[in-house]
Structures are given as C-alpha cells and as structure tokens.
Structure 1
Amino acid sequence: MSSFGQPAQAEQATAARRRNRFGPMGFVLSFGVVSMLADVVYEGARAITGPYLATLGASAVMVGFITGVGEAVALVLRLGTGPLADRTRKYWPLTIAGYAMTAVAVPLLALAGSLWQASALVITERFGKAVRTPARDTMLSHAGATLGRGRAFAIHEALDQSGALVGPLLVSLMIAVSGYQLGFGVLAIPGALAIAAVVLLRRFVPAPERFDAGLAGNGELANAAAHVTVPAAPAVRTPLPARFWWYSGFTAVSMFGFSTFGVISHHLEVEKVLAPALIPVTYAVSMGAAALAALASGALYDRIGLRGLLVALPLTAAVPFLSFSDSPALVWAGAAVWGAALGIHESTLRAAVADLVPAARRGTGYGIFTAVYGLAWLAGSTIIGALYASSPAGLAVFTIATQVAALLVFIPLLRSGAGRPAASA
C-alpha cells in the first residue's frame, strides 16, 4: 500500500470507531447555528464595507475591485483548499481554522487607519472562508446523502442567512450610537461564540463521513459500525465529468453580471440615497430574502434539478434598475431582489456540485467550481464598478447581456440531462 493510502486508511479507521452523537438532521441544524454566528460577524462587516472604504478615500471602481478581490480570494483559493481537504481528510481542523481567521480579522477593522490596512483585513476575512468552506461543505454533503442534498444545503443556508440578517442590524445600531469603529468592534462577541460552537460540534460529530452509509452513530448501528474499517480513497483520481465543467461555465457567466454589495452600498453612501445607519439595514433585508429564496430553491432543486436555478437570471437582470436607483423605495426593493438571487446561487449551486462529481473528489470539485465562480465575480464586479462611474445605461445593458448569455450556456445542460435532479449518492 502507498504511503498516501496508509495514513488515509488509518484516519478513516479511527473515525469509524468514533461515535457521532447527532444524526444527519441534528448535524445540519447545529452547523447552521455555527454558520449563523459566523455570519453575524462577516455579513455584518460586509454590510458596511463599501461605505467604510469610501470614508477612507476609495472610489466606486476601487470598492468594486477590493470587494471583488475579496470574493475571488474566498472562492479561487479553494482550488488549493478543496484538494487539501480531499487529500488530508482534515475536514474539522480546516473548518475551525477558517472560522478563526474570520473571527479575528473582522473586529480588527475597527483599528484600521488607512485604506490598505482595511483592504488587507477584508481580504484576510475572505481567505478564512476559502480555508473552511470546501471542508465544511463536504461534511454537509455527507449528511445530505440521507436528507436530500437540496434540503440539507437549503436548511444550512437558511440558518446561515439568519445570522446575515442579525449582523447588519447589530452593526446599524452601533453606527447610529457611535460610528463605524464600534460597528466592527462589537462583532468580536459573536466571533468568539462561533469558534466555541464549532469546536463543540466537532466533539459531538467527529466523523460526519459515516452519514453517507447511514451510520449516524447511535444505538446498535453505531456499535456495529465501530468495527468497520472504511476503505482508503483510491490512489488514482477519476476525472471530473464534462457536465460539471459546463455547469461551472454557466455559473461563471451568470455571476459575471452580478454586482457585489460593496458597489451597491458605495452608491447609497456617495449619492446620499439613504442615511449611513440605514445602509446595513438594506443588507439585512437582502439576507432575509436570501434565506427565504434558499429554502424555496433547495426544495425546487430536489424536485426538478438545476432548472430551478434559472429564476436567478431575471432577478440579477433587475438589480441595476433597482439597487442603483436614486429612489429609496426602489433601493429597498432592489435589496430584496439582489438577496434572493444570491440565496439561490449560494444554496442550489453548492448542492448541485455534490451530485455532479464523484464522492471522493467532492472537495476538489467544490474548490474548482468556486474558483471559476470567484474569478467571474471579481472580473464582473470590477467592470460593474467602472460602468457605474462612467455609464449607468451601460451597466444595465451589461447585466442583461450576461444573463441572456448564461441562459444560452444553460441549454446544453438540459439536453445532457444535468438539469434533472440526481439521486443522492
């Protein structure tokens, strides 16, 4: 046996002897609480990143670039962290380390005295997301084998987004009381709680990979499983299927026309459309809409497959006409529409990857997929920032054109059968 196979087999045999105290649903719900606390931290910060960078002298193009780089770091670096999770099977250590980076970087924004310092912390926080997400999503996908992957990821996303609703509201209150520094500083509290929660969850569910075999770790089934040796991952990796690559291309084209909230919030700040304390409230509205859309699209995915994702395209196309308006009423509507589109992307897209790639390469699949996703979002957000500054009409045309192109790219997926729901593996 190869030197790679021996430690992998030993690690998996040790995991098989450990007892999961939660079943799949308990695991998903508990991880949702962890993500909810973490979302209070980083979504609270993202709600005011655009205006905060503007106070440090950033232009709309600069905000689009910085926030785009942040999203790209969070997504593209999973090219490395995804295969790392597959190769080492250290899902829990990677997950905990990623949450720790976020919990530390965000409160430090309160002490940033220059644009470059703030930018570095924004990007560091996103790097934490790159470290944890492939490992976390792989663990969630195991629970989804029993629950239905659309359902598992939708439940997790809905709980996750509830934190994204609370965080901006908390930050809004702190800004109204004292300003941006207190808004960032107060986020140290939910950050510490998130770290404590994920460490505790690891103790209760040390081996989530056993959910794939229906071994939740309770009763007679768990006792029998204690003597099972899980076979090592094969040394030869199977190639990722063509449908996965085509699906990644569709996602990239659709995200190419999707603005980051940083550019939207920059618009609200510099044009004085809303008071500074209300800007994070619009983000809270977005996150509430994202949670509802995630639940709906997750259920739709389990019924009809990827075709349910198409509703995100017209929502994205409507964003320039709403979110970049000078009308407060349209801006509030735009917040809900932008959030709904994001919720569909962040729940259904993640669920689909697990059904499109072999189980042994899930971490790698998530890493590649989100890298493509992130590069497209970086390029698109930079272009959107530039068009916002030079040609609002061009911004609308660009967004609509990208969504039409995404629809055309999606058609071969339907013909190949990838648009149909897949059975849980």
Structure 2
Amino acid sequence: MNDLKKKSMIFIVLIGVVSLFSDMTYEGARSISGQYLEILGANAALVGFIGGLGELLGYAIRFFSGRLADKTKKYWSLTIFGYLVNLLSVPLIALFPNWQWAILPMMLERIGKGIRVPPRDAMISFATKSVGRGWGFGIHEFLDQLGAVSGPIFVAIVLFILGENNFRYAFFLLIIPASCAIGVLFFSRFLYPVPSKLEVQLIELDSKGLPKLFWIYSLCVLGFAVGFLDFVLIAFHLEKTKLIAQPMIPILYAFAMGVDGASALVFGKLFDKNGFIALLFAIIISIFANPLIFLSSSIYLIIVGMTCWGIGLGALESIIRAAVANIVPINKRGSAFGIFNTLLGIFWFVGSFACGILYGIAPIYLVIFSVSAQIFSVGCFLYFRNSLRV
C-alpha cells in the first residue's frame, strides 16, 4: 500500500469513527422518536409530516452548505459546526414533555446533519480516489452503521432497565456518544487540515457547471427517494399495531442498521467492479420492504422486510454517493453533493408526507404508492443505462 493510499484509508477510517459515534447518538434517538411522538399524542399523518419535514430541512440546507464549501474551501469549519448542532440537539429532546416542543430539537438535529454532510462527503471523496470510490464510501458507511446499530441497542437497554416509556432519560444519556464523536472529529482535523491533498488532480478541472450526466443520475435516484420510507413511520406502525414489544422496536432498527452496514461494503465492492448495476440491484431488493412490513402480521416477514429496507438504506448512504464522486470533478463536489441531497430531501419529504396520509386511510395505499415510485426509479435506470455507466 503506497503512502497516499495509506493516508487516505486512515482518513476514511477516522471520519468513519466520527460517524460511528454520531450515528450512535442520533440513530439511537430516531429509533424511539416515532414511539415518543405517538405517546405524546401525535397522529400518523403528523408523524409522517414531521419525519418528512425534518428530512426536507436537513436536505434543503445541503444546497447552501455544499456551495459554500466549494466557494470558501472551508470544508472542516462547516463540517465541525454541523456536527455540533446535529449532536447537541439530541439530549435537548429530553427537556420537552409535549410533541409541539419536542419536534424543535428534532428539526435542529436534521439541520445540523444537513450542514455538515456535503463538506464531509466532499472530503471523503478526496480520499476515495486512491482506494476505490465504492470501497471507500462503503467502509465509511460500515463504520457509520456500527454506530447506528449500537445506538438503538443502547436505547433499548435503557428502556429495559428503567422501564418502558422512559424515553426522556434515553435521549439525555445519548450525550455520551455525542461527546466521543466531537472529540474524534477535532483529532481528525488536527491530523488532516487539508484533505483535498489526498486526491491527485491529473487533468485540468472543468470550471463550468455540473455535467449533464449528474442531472440524469439525479432523476433516476429521485423515484427511489419518494418510495423509501423513513423509520419514524415504520416505528409508528409497529407501535400502533403492537406487533412487536415496545423495547424490541429499537432492536429491530439496530438489526436493519447492521444490514445497512454490511450491504454497503458488499455493494461498494460491486460498484467499483460493475458500476451502477450494483445500485440497481439494491433498489430492486428494497422494493419488497414496505409490502412485507406494512401488510404482514408475521414477525418473521417483518424482519425480512427490514432486511430489504436495510439494503436499500445501505445503497442510499454509500454507493449513491460514490457515483456522484465519479461523475463530478473535484472542484464541484461540494455543490454536487449539496444539490443532489437537496433534491433527494425534497422528494423524500413529499414521499414521507404522502405515505403518512395514505397510511391513515389504509396501509395498502401506502404500499401501492411507494412500490410504484421505486419501480419508476428502476425504469429510469434501465432507460438511461448507457449514459449511467459510471
């Protein structure tokens, strides 16, 4: 392993460890947010709206964060500020005993994530040049999901020890992994003050706008986003139907996060070898998630559905980003990740809100809507397959 490749791998692992602790924090919180809102009196449409609005705010701000990162090259400053807002909002949820106030720190948590994702992903993309785009983003996502598994398990243990419905204590105790994430983040900044040096530029950079291929690719992904549900609505469904004991819902979420992390590694390697076909395969698998989760009363089929959901999330968080890094030149990455994620958030919001309303009518309508959207995404990928050999 040459020196540049070694340094790049260390950087990816360090940022992965930051993501491990940060995911432990906010995924632990998200694993109980749906149940918490249900207990506080929110209905299905409201939960779907809150979940979708949170994603919309978080993704919309990425447009500005990404452009600001490219313009100022202050990748670290934006990343650190975003992490501070993202992580420190979680324990604040414990201070509010009603849903009208509890949603405020939930929104702030999403906004903080939105601020730091484009500059962070741009920095990761610099490092993935020498190790492989899919593999590099896959490793980051794997470490990310170790935290996403640990967070819900931590929350479940708190609920087992303190008793059901002690959500406020669980939210407050998540300040522990949040502090660890912030510490590793500052250490990474000290070791790698200029991450862009990890990607050697072999050709003159195009100073014009984003390539046409980027917009084609974005269109293909948007259908997937519309049909892919946030876990908040899934947790609401499981809590309402009582198909699973309350403390086991975070465990089920942790299981899905484990699937997410493992699939990110597998599909990351497949992406480096086979291109977008790996992403297409992951999307096809995820189509089965909602029918199995929302139309089944069998715990075993729900677990299979959550497995499909985890695979889809693994694709969304790893190889979808890797493809953007392949398509867009280095000096436009922050803007590209920002625009791409903003579009993703808008369509995710529309999908989540629509699914919340449809669920209130009957779960079958939610399933029909989400499956149709994801089949549309597959059709787009197949139609543009010659252009999307990235």
What's the TM-score bracket when you normalise by the shorter of the two chains? Answer: over 0.9
CA root-mean-square deviation? 1.9
Letter in 1 for 2:359: Y
1:70 Cα deviation from its structure 2 partner: 1.1
1:336-415 equivalent positions in 2, closer than 5 A: 336-415=307-386
Question: Unmatched 5+ residue regions in structure 2?
Answer: none
2:304 maps to 333
SS at match of 1:414: coil
Residue in 2 aligned with 1:281? 251
Indicate whether 1:202 and 2:172 are aligned. no
Q: Percent identity?
A: 39
Partner of 2:117: 133
Q: Which residues of 2 match residues 207-356 of structure 1 at below 5 A?
A: 207-213=194-200, 237-324=207-294, 325-356=296-327
Q: TM-score, normalised by structure 1?
A: 0.87
SS in 2 for 1:129: helix
Structure 2 equivalent of residue 79 of structure 1: 63
Structure 1: distance between partners of 2:384 and 2:330 = 21
**What is the deviation of 1:320?**
2.1
* The one of 103, 128, 143 aligned to 1:119: 103
Superposition deviation, residue 345 in structure 1: 1.3
Contact 1:289 1:339 in 2 (8 A): yes
1:370 Cα deviation after fit: 0.5
CA shift digits 1:75-98 (9 cap, x unpaired): 121110000100111111111111
- Could you say which residue in structure 2 is the equivalent of 1:151? 135
Residues 271, 326 of structure 1: 8 Å contact kept: no
Residue of structure 1 equivalent to 2:178: 191
- Cα deviations by residue, 1:319-365 (Å, 9 ceiling, x for unpaired): 22222233222222222221111011110011111111121110000
Question: CA offset at residue 58 of structure 1?
Answer: 0.9
Q: CA separation in 2, counterparts of 1:98 and 1:371?
A: 16
SS in 2 for 1:213: coil
- Counterpart pick for 1:175 among 140, 145, 159: 159
Report the equivalent of 1:12.
Answer: none
Instruction: Find the aligned partners of 1:40 and 1:92 in 2 and give their Cα distance.
Output: 21
Amino acid at match of 2:10: G
Q: 2:75 is matched by which residue type in structure 1?
A: Y
Equivalent in the alignment of 1:102: 86
The whole-number CA distance in structure 1 between the counterparts of 2:91 and 2:334 is: 30
Question: 1:171 corresponds to which letter in structure 2?
Answer: V
Whether 2:53 is the aligned partner of 1:53: answer no
Query: In the aligned structure 1, how far is the partner of 2:257 from the partner of 2:358?
Result: 25
d(CA) in 2 for partners of 1:315 and 1:116?
Answer: 37
> How many angstroms apart in 2 are the aligned matches of 1:275 and 1:333?
18
Q: How much has 1:269 moved relative to structure 2?
A: 0.7
Residue of structure 2 in register with 1:27 after alignment: 11
**TM-superposed deviation, 1:62:** 0.8
Q: Give the SS at the match of 1:77.
A: helix
The total of aligned residue pairs comes to: 383
TM-score by length of 2: 0.94
Is there any run of 5+ residues in structure 1 with no aligned partner, and where? 1-19, 215-232
Deviations 1:270-303 (A, max 9, x none): 1111111111001001100000110011111101
Letter in 1 for 2:152: P
Look up the match of 1:62.
46
Distance between the aligned counterparts of 1:141 and 1:415, measured in 2?
A: 24
